[in-house]
Structure 1
Amino acid sequence: MRALALIALPLALVACSEPAPEPEPTPTPTVAAPRTLVGADLDLSALGAKIVGPQGPEVKTTLSAGGRQLGTMVSYVACPEGIGECVPGQMPEDTVYTYVHQVTLADADEDAADAQPTEGPEVRETPPTLFRTTQRAHGFNQSVGYARAQVEEALGDPDAIAISIDNGSLIWRVVAGSGWQPGTTLTFWWQSTLPPAGPADAYLLEVDGNQASATGPFPSEPENPADGAAGN
């Protein structure tokens, strides 16, 4: 009996000395970095009929910030070429909808134009000028762009707009040219596999450091995110 006890003791010590299994690593979500997109020209000949919503075929909104008007926006959503009546509930499931936004900057504020520059340190960074969605572009199919002729006329460079996607939101940014001048219009567009759910406060214009939210047609989040998730 004593011999058996002596044999069992080392076995027990060996069992106690075995290292505990390492816990399985917990996956951590990764934050996607902003990604540059290649913008295409707006081809109006490729568009069919516009969707007629509660406000008609176009949604018009005023862009205001700080008690003054920055501009106006006219938006619409069109079905593909050849469709004479665009009714989402009657369209095939694979229909692609083109969201178009015409943004016109307000004429220069006379009071601001006449104001004398204030003394102080030199401003080194120019405030951004951009137009963007403030929500994930649900159903975005990677087709996006702007009217190049307008950009060339307004900014002097047809490639003056850079487009990116950040956490699902689309951003059009002025990166070159002579600057977006008051009274001129730029048209931005993107495509979605989802029709608009109605006007939503889902857009933003930033000019000279002033931000103005805008209401326009926007798709709702799909019940199954995999069916209409915007790529990062």
Structure 2
Amino acid sequence: MNRTIVALPLLFALAACGGGADEPPTDLESAQSDGAAEALARNFEAGDFLDLQLGAKIVGPQGEDVESALANAEGNFADLRSFVACPAGMDPCDPATAPQGTIYTYVHVVYPGEDNEAGSGSGESNDSSDVERATAFRMTRPATGFTGAVGYSKDEAMAAIGAKADVVVTCDDGALVWTVSAGDGGDQWEQAEPITFWWQSTVAPAGPAQAYVIDANYTQATGSGPYPGAANDTTNACVAPKLAGAEG
């Protein structure tokens, strides 16, 4: 696939969650092949969800939160709850009246298996088989208007996987990929362990789109969530030109 190196200040730092200097490297910290080394060179520095200062959520036809299942022909492999928020201090969050230059934060809470809530998500009757290992959450479309600001909930990753948890954020053909690494064996990102992922865009959502995927149990399952509308002449940090003097 065509992957473009993004030379921004947010790049070239590994997003390690809870790792220490004396701990052995995980499989995403030590490149074992040329391909792995290439992936490490494209990392975005991942911000912690708890550090975000968010304003009100956009209220769409489904309300503030958009709920869907990430599924394939075999069944549902995750529940997805998504919302889009304006910057702190903006209430209400209405793209029709928001000032030019507003940054929108897209938030996706991924529950492998299902969210264990009877009134939301896919529901118990639509479960897939138990998710023993989920390894990535990704977009299937370019991240329109992506500013370069991206991250996840480090507390949730720690709770799901433990101190060796890594979430590495890269780009794939203009789309964002959050790769969740727990190394081999031991605790994995698995059934009913939610992790929140987020990214920021200069473009407001046009509505839910089939644009999100979970890699789980060695298969992929797809579902819908808020996705930016069409925008001419907008930037996407995944495909921004490489700055002069940058290595790569």
Category of TM-score, reference length = shorter chain: 0.7 to 0.9
Aligned counterpart in structure 2 of residue 87 of structure 1, from 79, 88, 94: 94
Aligned counterpart in structure 2 of residue 66 of structure 1, from 73, 76, 79: 73
The structure whose residues are more often helix, as a share, is: 1
8 Å CA contact 1:41, 1:148 repeated in 2: yes
8 Å CA contact 2:76, 2:128 repeated in 1: no
Distance in 1 between residues matched to 2:94 and 2:172, nearest whole Å: 31
8 Å CA contact 1:39, 1:145 repeated in 2: yes
Which 5+ residue runs of structure 1 have no aligned equivalent?
A: 1-29, 114-126
TM-score (norm 2): 0.69
Between Structure 1 and Structure 2, how many residues are aligned? 188
Paired position in structure 2 for 1:96? 103
Paired position in structure 2 for 1:180? 189
8 Å CA contact 2:145, 2:203 repeated in 1: yes
TM-score (norm 1): 0.74
8 Å CA contact 2:76, 2:127 repeated in 1: no
Aligned counterpart in structure 1 of residue 147 of structure 2, from 141, 160, 170: 141
8 Å CA contact 1:222, 1:228 repeated in 2: no
Higher relative contact order (Cα pairs below 8 Å, separated by 6+ residues)? 2
Distance 1:223 1:176, change over 3 A: same
Stretch moving more, 31-40 or 213-222: 31-40
Identity over aligned residues, as a percent? 37
8 Å CA contact 1:151, 1:158 repeated in 2: no
Superposition RMSD on alpha carbons, in Å? 2.5
Distance 1:93 1:155, change over 3 A: same
8 Å CA contact 1:149, 1:158 repeated in 2: no
Paired position in structure 2 for 1:198? 207
- The CA deviation at 1:157 is 2.8
Instruction: Give CA-to-partner distance per residue, 1:201-231, whole Å, 9 cap, x none.
Output: 111111021211110001023122xx23343
8 Å CA contact 2:134, 2:214 repeated in 1: no
Distance in 2 between residues matched to 1:157 and 1:172, nearest whole Å: 18
Instruction: Give CA-to-partner distance per residue, 1:58-115, whole Å, 9 cap, x none.
Output: 10001222332211000000001111100001011111000000000116999967xx
1:129 is the counterpart of 2:135: yes
